[in-house]
Structure 1
Amino acid sequence: MKYLIEVEKGKEARDGRPSVGPVYRSVFAKDGFPPPVPGLESCWDVFRITVEKYPDNHMLGRREIVNGKAGKYVWQTYKQVYDKVIRIGNAIRSCGVEPRAKCGIYGANCAEWIMSMEACNAHGLYCVPLYDTLGAGAVEFIICHAEVSIAFIEEKKIAEVLKTFPRTTEFLKTLVSFGKVTPEQRQEVEKFGLAIYAWDDFLKLGDNQQFELPAKEKTDICTIMYTSGTTGDPKGVMISNESIVTLIAGVKRLLESVNEELHQKDVYLSYLPLAHIFDRVIEECFIHHGASIGFWRGDVKLLIEDIGELKPTIFCAVPRVLDRVYSGLNQKISAGGFLKHTLFNFAYSYKLNSLRKGNKYGEAAPLFDRFVFNKVKQGLGGNVRLILSGAAPLSNHVEAFLRVVTCAHVLQGYGMNELLPLCMFYMFCLFLVDSKLQELIIVKIAI
């Protein structure tokens, strides 16, 4: 129990009530969650304050397509993104959308997704990610259940939203494409009395408008994340500003526990769905530190190429992805011949034992890192120092393998949307130095 502290004694069964075991907390949260960062009252503050501190830092990037080929990443600065967010927010309000209304966002990760989200944060709208992986009819259900009145939609997803007509038109009033709108789509939407805008046209609505930003409170809802739950229809989880700003402080505390920290020079590859809480909160943390977020092209086959071009410093994944990485690397090692296989096994065992003795990553086996494991490191762009795994448990042997061959910290955790700060606390606590640490870090939960 080295990493746990008992904060409540267990209770024996009495008066018909069952017994209750002790309650433990992580040593990093023995007095409760760390206090939020001073000045952060809302998700809008996270972005606004960073713009003031790092206006010229690269914020959002995508690969430029030249003659049908992907080139280098092209970036928008924090100030450039901020200016667009203000225009988007004014355009939203000019459509008659008031604070506390529900705004849907439907599509793959992109700069427009983040800007739409920040416009919601600015004007106190509830951001409601829409996604179809919850099953047939999920998009329709979420729009109707959350009473979404305006939705930002990836260009190729517009057809999916139109399939929900006329059932969703009771609530939907405005659609905004991340790209263009075809005449046929416009005709179909206007037939039901709704408005639809191409991205550039929508931004122009906000050019001559200036709406006052409403005051935000910690307890205000900033997003409603829908999850499959155990049975029945998707369930909407209401997440407050306080949950996310508390999370940011918790991440800072726990990264410090492994001698790591996020900083403005960090680079993140955004490919896990922003409609899921894992990627959403990671990107909030990056925004808070003035770091850079580059988006993939949306094709799994091109992911490694995007990684090589972006050269991220932090890589997030789910166990299914990391299991594939593990299997693929093992196949290559086995096919490398007896000598290479033997050398790898020796280097692997040596470094793993060195790490278990408490040696730091850069000092555990520097020669082997350079001559044996460097190819794996370069496969992730060459700069990755932290790998974060979430959404489900990562197998112990896969975690240990990745810690050795990627030359990076591998931290994992999983949790529920309903317990946002808890799942992040657990993520950074679970695996520190000793691979024997597989204790569940239990935090007191009040429901």
Structure 2
Amino acid sequence: MVNYLGLKNVLAMKLMSQCKKKKKKKNMHHGKLLNYFNLFLFIYLSFVFNFENTKTSTTTNKEQIPSTLLISFLSFDIFSYWFATRPKALKAPCDLRMQSVELPGGEFARRGAVLNGGPLLSHFYEDAKTLYEWFHRGLRESNNGPCLGSRKPKQPYEWLSYSEVIERAENLGSAFLHKGHSKDGDPYIGIFSRNRPEWTISELACYTYSLISVPLYDTLGTEAISYILDKTCISTVVCDVPEKVKLLLDCVSGRQHSVKTLILIENFDTDLVSRAQQCGIDIISLRDAENIGKAHRQHPVATCELSVMMFVFSQGNPKGAMLTHSNIVSNVSAFIYVTKDTHISYLPLAHMFERVVQGVILMHGARIGYFQGDIRILMDDLSTLKPTVFPVVPRLLNRMFDKVNSPLKRRILEFAFRRKENEMKSGIMRRDSVWDKIIFKKVQVIIDLRIVVVFSVVMGHVRMMITGAAPISAPVLTFLRAALGCHFYEGYGQTECTAGSTATIPGDWTAGHVGAPLPCNDIKLVDVAEMNYYAAKGEGEVCVRGPNVFKGYLKDPEKTKEALDEDGWVHTGDIGRWLPNGTLKIVDRKKHIFKLAQGEYIAPEKIENIYIRSEAVAQAFVHGDSLQACLVAIIVPDPDFLPGWAKKRGIEGSYEELCKNKEVKKAILEDIVKLGKESGLKSFEQVKDIALHTEMFSIQNGLLTPTLKAKRADLRDCFRKLIDELYSNIKI
């Protein structure tokens, strides 16, 4: 109950306050429009209220507000607020209706339209053609500003300036030379550490003196590490903690090896030194190494072309992809340019995705803050650092989407989502709309704390997010773009192309594609006749050529010839389709394909990526062979979602009990088959039976590679008995 006169005063104060706020902003056009809207609204409401007061002065209900009038007021106020605060669409760098153009020559190759017919981009700045030069450019751009930051628990970030980083890198690099390393002999330096400033300092030390960095994964086993050490003949490895040193000693103990020196970042004891000496290895601290270099300072020798040895993990032994300064500089130059940004480094630096993002940051004099090394407290690092650039992998995005995709939340969000989706289609990306304030702000705080990106977005600091490394479904990406309201880009690539080969462009917020070719490479599709894909129809295997394409695999000419043809095109093994707007859509996978008994070709990874969209499914392994006429699958249900998912279907129990329940198995099979139909899978691409497995596929149990890709041969061997049982039941 509100008195009409009191309501009029409240409305007048509200509208005048809103107008004053708008006047403070520079957008005078919108401010004037809002004034006109509010003036009209105030006059209209005053007339109606006065009329109603006169009409109902003798009734007992004169204090009531007409509900239809209140609804009209709210609707009109929302519209006026939306219209007045609606930002302009982001200007796209090219025509969004044609983002790539076909090149002459009859190969069906395409080039990004952002180049406007010009040559491929090898570098963007004349003073930044090597990784050494790009860092020094960052020094100049930042005016020796903060560069690398780290923090101790519950403490603020402490920063090293650009000049401090360069000085430490030159000291460490000089120590490498003093130990006998050179670009012509013993050029490889191993880096075996989590993300931290010392990782980047070690990398820059290599660039400064034309040495080659060889990143080692935290999750590598002794077999893979031993292979890499032998393949590269590494004599020096920089490690962060004693546990990594112990793992390296396990790899070389009792056999011939090349390792001579281990440089340890954190403290260590004499027992570790003694054990290393028994293997013929010296251990020194990073501080001592820098002091050695300071006493034997060398002038920079940044001329060597080869810069990084990235080991690619698939079936069999890892392959060493040789990447040059030119490869990385061209790829970094092709991405979005940033200034005065802050980046949170938590994705593994042993992957090129994170390295390229850091390159963009450092080339422009921005700063990088490293997480403390524990993903469980990354939220605390985010709230302290307040990053503006946040790369994220699809796995996190899928979990974010699952958290808000319950039926109740879905109904609440649907209307607001459609309103924001309409703005995105017009090229507008924002997080200050009325829908953000009323609805999506709630979404951004209800997501599980393990999904670490959200807090920083809520705080309004993240302006740009980048996702890649794996496929992400269009509904998930579209929803999160609307809900989070920052510029959200998707890219596609692989290590052999340095990192990225396509990316969505500013202003294009549509989903369902991976963007146009980057300015550093062309893309063509080639026929895959056995899968019925033909380049003339705009479909085929994705091939990439440009200055970002690697030089081959270390000491492996056969594998190099398989991946890199004589014309310089790297064959990715992915199947793509050109869309009418010139963007690329990844639709299938050529590698790991097999033929069923009836002659149909199957790409299991495509099917698995569809099945894991089920709320109940965490992992899937689809199997078939030429002796069988159908597919089966091993499914690992999601322990976080399975109990709630099953309860909705009237089934309760522990995770282990549910995985043994035949009704749960039947329900999951029906759900994934339904998803398959919705995604356009043919009947022969659908599994006919499944088995539920309770243990996640992991690096530790040997079923995933260090890059978290399925070891298909090992999975097949591990589940051979289950697979045979599934086929036996189908035959019955």
TM-score range, shorter chain: 0.7 to 0.9
Q: Does 1:372 align with 2:450?
A: no
Q: Which residue of structure 2 lines up, in the alignment, with residue 141 of structure 1?
A: 227
Q: CA separation in 1, counterparts of 2:295 and 2:270?
A: 26
Structure 1 stretch displaced more, 423-432 or 395-404: 423-432
Q: Which residue of structure 2 lines up, in the alignment, with residue 14 of structure 1?
A: none
Pick one of 303, 308, 324 that aligns with 2:378.
Answer: 303
Q: CA separation in 2, counterparts of 1:367 and 1:42?
A: 47
Contact residue 503 and residue 516 of structure 2 kept, 8 A = no
Structure 1 stretch displaced more, 208-217 or 282-291: 208-217
Matched positions, count: 411
Q: CA separation in 2, counterparts of 1:312 and 1:417?
A: 26
Q: Does 1:111 align with 2:197?
A: yes
Pick one of 519, 523, 528 that aligns with 1:443.
Answer: 523
Q: Which residue of structure 2 lines up, in the alignment, with residue 2 of structure 1?
A: 98
Which is greater in Rg? 2
Contact residue 403 and residue 410 of structure 1 kept, 8 A = yes
Q: Which residue of structure 2 lines up, in the alignment, with residue 129 of structure 1?
A: 215
1:399-422 per-position Cα deviation (integer Å, ceiling 9, x unaligned)? 1011111111111122111112xx
Give the CA deviation at 1:285. 1.1
Q: Does 1:94 align with 2:178?
A: yes
Contact residue 492 and residue 514 of structure 2 kept, 8 A = no
Q: Which residue of structure 1 lines up, in the alignment, with residue 301 of structure 2?
A: 214
Q: CA separation in 2, counterparts of 1:312 and 1:370?
A: 21
Q: What secondary structure sits across from 2:303 in the alignment? A: coil
Q: Which residue of structure 1 lines up, in the alignment, with residue 157 of structure 2?
A: 73
Q: Does 1:44 align with 2:125?
A: no
Letter matched to residue 421 of structure 2: L
The answer for unaligned runs of 5 or more in structure 2 is 1-96, 445-453, 525-544, 546-567, 570-732
Contact residue 430 and residue 438 of structure 1 kept, 8 A = no
Contact residue 350 and residue 365 of structure 1 kept, 8 A = no
Pick one of 316, 320, 328 that aligns with 1:232.
Answer: 316
Q: Does 1:383 align with 2:461?
A: yes
Q: What secondary structure sits across from 1:212 in the alignment? A: coil
Q: Does 1:61 align with 2:141?
A: no
Contact residue 314 and residue 386 of structure 1 kept, 8 A = yes
Counterparts in 2 of 1:42-441, with a 5 A limit?
A: 42-65=130-153, 70-100=154-184, 101-131=187-217, 133=219, 135-155=221-241, 156-166=243-253, 170-216=257-303, 220-229=305-314, 231-251=315-335, 255=336, 261-263=337-339, 265-330=340-405, 343-356=412-425, 358-362=426-430, 366-374=433-441, 376=444, 378-380=455-457, 381-420=459-498, 423-429=499-505, 432-435=508-511, 441=517
Q: Which residue of structure 2 lines up, in the alignment, with residue 18 of structure 1?
A: none
Contact residue 101 and residue 111 of structure 2 kept, 8 A = yes
Q: Which runs of 4+ in 1 moved over 6 A?
A: none
Letter matched to residue 352 of structure 1: E
Give the CA deviation at 1:190. 1.6
Q: What secondary structure sits across from 2:395 in the alignment? A: helix
Letter matched to residue 121 of structure 1: Y
| TM-score, structure 1 normalization | 0.85
| TM-score, structure 2 normalization | 0.53
Q: What secondary structure sits across from 1:410 in the alignment? A: strand
Q: CA separation in 1, counterparts of 2:127 and 2:400?
A: 41
1:148-187 per-position Cα deviation (integer Å, ceiling 9, x unaligned)? 1111012131111111123676311111011122211111
Contact residue 490 and residue 514 of structure 2 kept, 8 A = no
Give the CA deviation at 1:279. 0.5
Give the CA deviation at 1:429. 4.3
Q: CA separation in 1, counterparts of 2:441 and 2:248?
A: 46
Q: 1:401 to 1:56 in 2, by over 3 A?
A: same
1:100-149 per-position Cα deviation (integer Å, ceiling 9, x unaligned)? 51000001100110100000010110000012545551111111111111
Contact residue 504 and residue 516 of structure 2 kept, 8 A = no
Q: What secondary structure sits across from 1:163 in the alignment? A: helix
| Larger RCO, structures 1/2 (Cα 8 Å, 6+ apart) | 1
Q: CA separation in 2, counterparts of 1:335 and 1:204?
A: 62
Q: 1:437 to 1:197 in 2, by over 3 A?
A: closer
Give the CA deviation at 1:436. 6.3
Q: What secondary structure sits across from 2:160 in the alignment? A: strand
The answer for unaligned runs of 5 or more in structure 1 is 11-20, 256-260
Q: CA separation in 2, counterparts of 1:348 and 1:408?
A: 15
Letter matched to residue 508 of structure 2: L
Give the CA deviation at 1:384. 0.8
Q: 1:382 to 1:275 in 2, by over 3 A?
A: same
Give the CA deviation at 1:373. 2.5
Contact residue 148 and residue 172 of structure 1 kept, 8 A = yes
Give the CA deviation at 1:425. 4.2
Contact residue 123 and residue 213 of structure 1 kept, 8 A = yes
1:4-63 per-position Cα deviation (integer Å, ceiling 9, x unaligned)? 2110354xxxxxxxxxx6112221244342241212221011112222342431111112
